[in-house]
Chains A and B, each alone.
Chain A
Amino acid sequence: MKKFSYLWKNALVLVLALVFAIPAALDFKAMQKREPIAENEALTETRMLSEYCEGLKGTPADTEIYILDSGVPGGTFLIFGGTHPNETAGMLAAVSLVENMKPTAGRFFIIPWLNKSGFTHTSPLDGMQDFFDIKLDDGSVRTFRVGNRLTNPIHQWPDRTYYEGTSGRKLVGTETAEIRNVNRMYYGNPDGVLTEKVCWGIYQLILKEGVNLTMDMHEGSPEFLYLDCTMVNEKADNPTAMSIAQGMSLDMEFDDLTMRAEFSGMKSYGLSHRSLGDNTPSMMTLMETYNPSMGPLHGKMDDDLIVGGNEPNYVEAYERGLNYFKVDDSGYPLIDRVARHITCISYLAKNYTDAHPDRAMSFEGLGSYADMVAKGLGGLLKPVGQK
């Protein structure tokens, strides 16, 4: 009898666990489905990153590359968002470019979900949302994932307690989890861990396609030093890189937008702007905007914080002199950050073309910063049949 009740008790616990675990598992599983993307007549071709790194084929890290070729000879611009999936504006800016861009010179390679595995999970203890909604002008709703800055440990585990990537960056102590950070493992390794294969794919893409200019879109919490800032790698074979970046910065200033240009850190080993800049002919840039949902001070996590971008806690922290970055009551809505990324890309292309007319690259279809902000995300994104 005692054994019987013991069995019943255990069976009950197991059933109860399943009652909770199954819906939770389905919830997590839902994050593995990529968002649809709207059609754009200017889209020439879609490839997978595995075309540049065989080892990615069939893995959860293989990701789409959208190619928009103007047909007019010129330069090649590689743009990617989603290096860190929780830095939402980069991914949405890339999606907006794919859906709206009409290239007029050169070719554009755009990757919205660079660390695709990172989009399939969120960061423990950060209380992050998995999805957020954007209501479009036609009344339909598009849902996007937030994700984690690192590759999903289900796809790459365990983190080694010591690792030296191809850049020479030694991952040890607090940095061991960074073995799952795409922006620490450049220029990658075709035989390395999954995250390194993503990096290798990008490295090979740049080399094989002769990419002239690359933009890696990021965001940071207000504690971070380099916000509204573009990092640029200047090297011997591209001495004009900083002047191009400063031209972009000046153009943005004329639009009343701050976007300073800074040199890549000399020891930023493994980061895209440093390692890809050092090892490929492409001019490497990386841009950061402020994302209030990422810092430790954030309040309740909801669509309002992610899309509205208003976090009073950071306003208070700024007023007490604890943030380097100015945060005011008006917040920093997602549309502002997306528009800022796109405007920066547009001016970089313009200034690059001015410096290298034989490698011209330009596009239309998105309008100015003010136009995009006036449209809002509901007007910028296209309907895809979601309700």
Chain B
Amino acid sequence: MDRELICLLVMLAVFLLANLLAKLPVSISMVLGAVAGALAGGQGIPLRHLFEGTFTYLDTILIISAAMLFMTVIQESGALEALNAVIVTRFYKKPALMLILLMFMIMFPGMITGSSTAAVLSAGALVAPVLLLIGIPKEKTGAIIAMGAIMGMAAPPINIPALLIAGGVDMPYIGFEGPLFFITIPCAVIAVLILGLKHCKGLDIEKLKAELDLEIGKKYGFRLYIPIFVLIILLVVSKLVPSLPQLGTALIFLISAAVGCFTGRRFNVWEKSLSAMETTIPVLGKLMGVGMFIQVLTLVGARGWIVVSALSLGTVMLYIFSCTIMPAFGAISSYGAASVMGVPFLLVLLQTGGSNDIVLCCMLSFLCCLGDLMPPTALAGNYAAQIVGLKYSPVLKKCVIPFLICLAAGLLCLIFSGSLSFLTA
């Protein structure tokens, strides 16, 4: 057996044992897996590498922390309750349209930041109470948020796995919008309708009104929504006019949060911020653990081994692996799946005649994004479950059918990438 394979198996075994048997947090289990891999690879305990991997996702960690603070402010100021009331009272007569619009709302922060976690934490948390109010069960609400966040993560303009794969083969990130919209929008619409539509028939608006807080909106009026508009305007302007001085996504969230402290109900900012950070620390820990895990995977040569093994698979097996192993790797990291598997898979698939490189890259990145639903990490599923107050397994169960539909759609587009070349024009 190859030494690299042994290292990989040791890392996975220690990670799973620590997480599933010893019930240690995912982040700590990843640290243990990484340390075990380094020992098995003859690298001792490479502190420098463990730290370096840990800090890989520092920027993402800053964005998630800032987004979480923003969400807390929006909740505490009353903007969330007011928004719920507006959406339900305006759109209750057209439930399908209402659901689709809500789905696009969930997707939006993911499209801008490229992070499903940011989408769940921001728009997901805004939309969840609305979905619950109109009668969608908790587990399905969580599933809608998780699926929407993943579709947002995969949708343009920012799809980080696509950026990673394209960067790995020296392909400029140009012309990706068409194929990414082509796969994400229909999948998002199908997912939300499958999960939510049957619960939205014959809504009793009077009953809903009784449960909604209509007073807070009347008391503070439009100013309640100012932080949300500040956020959207700053995010959109920074993308549309990049030559303007750039604030960065984390600072934009913080500025919007600061504005929100003065536009609605008063609350103790310090206490609420502390509690928001306590909630988010497990996800930040996971990101740090993922960085450490992949760093050691590369150090001991297991990443190279995975790549070379993939090269010897043949096209059919590669298609199968693309829609099984690649999303499954999301249990460790969907970004990791893109950089470890996406690049070599693309190189091999490009050898098959009649394929389109941009469409292939987009579909591989889409399949990587689906990995954010994979337990035990299941970044999107985990947070969505937390928002609706459930453990993540019932939420993930409800994701199975839309997930399989997405998988099939991604695979079909991968196989027939050549026929979709028109999307890249």
Contact = CB atoms under 8 A, between A and B. Distances in A.
Contacts of B53: 124-125
Contact of B301 (A20, A224, A298): A298
A317 B312 CA distance: 9
Prevailing SS type, chain B contact patch? helix
B186 interface: no
Contact of B291 (A125, A164, A298, A316): A125
B388 interface: no
B167 A20 contact: no
B48 A27 contact: yes
A71 interface: no
Contacts of B248: 158, 161
B339 A161 contact: no
Given A124-B55, A125-B56, A174-B173, A161 B242 contact: yes
Given A296-B343, A298-B304, A301-B298, A317 B47 contact: no
Interface string B68-84: 00000000000000000
Contacts, number: 105
A301 B47 CA distance: 15
A85 to B, nearest CB: 15
Given A297-B304, A320-B312, A322-B348, A28 B48 contact: yes
Contacts of A320: 311-312
A296 B51 contact: no
Given A124-B291, A161-B246, A23 B47 contact: yes
B170 interface: yes
Given A124-B295, A127-B298, A297 B308 contact: yes
Given A125-B294, A160-B246, A21 B308 contact: no
Contacts of A158: 248
Given A127-B295, A223-B169, A322-B348, A162 B242 contact: yes
- How many chain B residues sit at the interface, stated as a range, is 35 or more
B152 interface: no
- What is the size category of the interface that chain A forms with chain B? 35 or more
Q: Which of B47, B50, B305 has the most CB of A within 10 A?
A: B47
B163 interface: yes
A183 to B, nearest CB: 15
Contacts of A321: 351
A314 to B, nearest CB: 9
A317 B166 contact: no
Given A297-B308, A316-B308, A24 B246 contact: no
A316 to B, nearest CB: 6
Given A20-B47, A223-B169, A127 B299 contact: yes
B347 interface: yes
A365 interface: no
Contacts of A174: 163, 166-167, 172-173
Q: Which of B4, B50, B304, B343 has the most CB of A within 10 A?
A: B304
Contacts of A299: 4, 301, 304-305
A316 B311 contact: yes
Contacts of A316: 308, 311-312
Contacts of B291: 124-125
B48 A24 contact: yes
A122 B48 CA distance: 10
A126 interface: yes
A296 B246 contact: no
A223 B170 contact: yes
Contact of A24 (B50, B296, B305): B50
Contact of A162 (B170, B243, B294, B299): B243
Contacts of B47: 20, 23-24, 27
Contacts of B307: 296-297, 313
B212 interface: no
Contact of A172 (B52, B163, B242, B297): B242
Interface string A262-283: 0000000000000000000000
Contacts of A9: none
Nearest to A153: B58
Interface in B48-64: 48-53, 55-56
Nearest to B293: A125
A130 B48 contact: yes
B238 interface: yes
A266 B374 CA distance: 45
A301 B299 contact: yes
- Residue among B169, B301, B344 with most chain A CB within 10 A: B301
Contact of B41 (A23, A224, A300, A313): A300
B300 interface: yes
Contacts of A24: 47-48, 50-51
B308 A313 contact: yes
A125 B344 CA distance: 17
B47 to A, nearest CB: 4
Interface in A303-331: 311, 313, 316-317, 320-322
Contacts of A28: 48, 51
A21 B291 CA distance: 16
A139 to B, nearest CB: 25
Contacts of A298: 298, 301, 304
23 contacts: A20-B51, A23-B47, A24-B48, A24-B50, A125-B291, A125-B298, A127-B49, A130-B48, A160-B246, A162-B242, A162-B244, A172-B242, A173-B163, A174-B167, A223-B347, A224-B170, A299-B301, A299-B304, A299-B305, A320-B311, A322-B311, A322-B347, A322-B348
Given A301-B301, A322-B351, 6 more contacts: A161-B248, A297-B308, A298-B301, A299-B304, A300-B3, A316-B311
7 nearest CB pairs, A to B? A127-B299, A127-B298, A299-B301, A300-B301, A162-B242, A124-B56, A161-B246
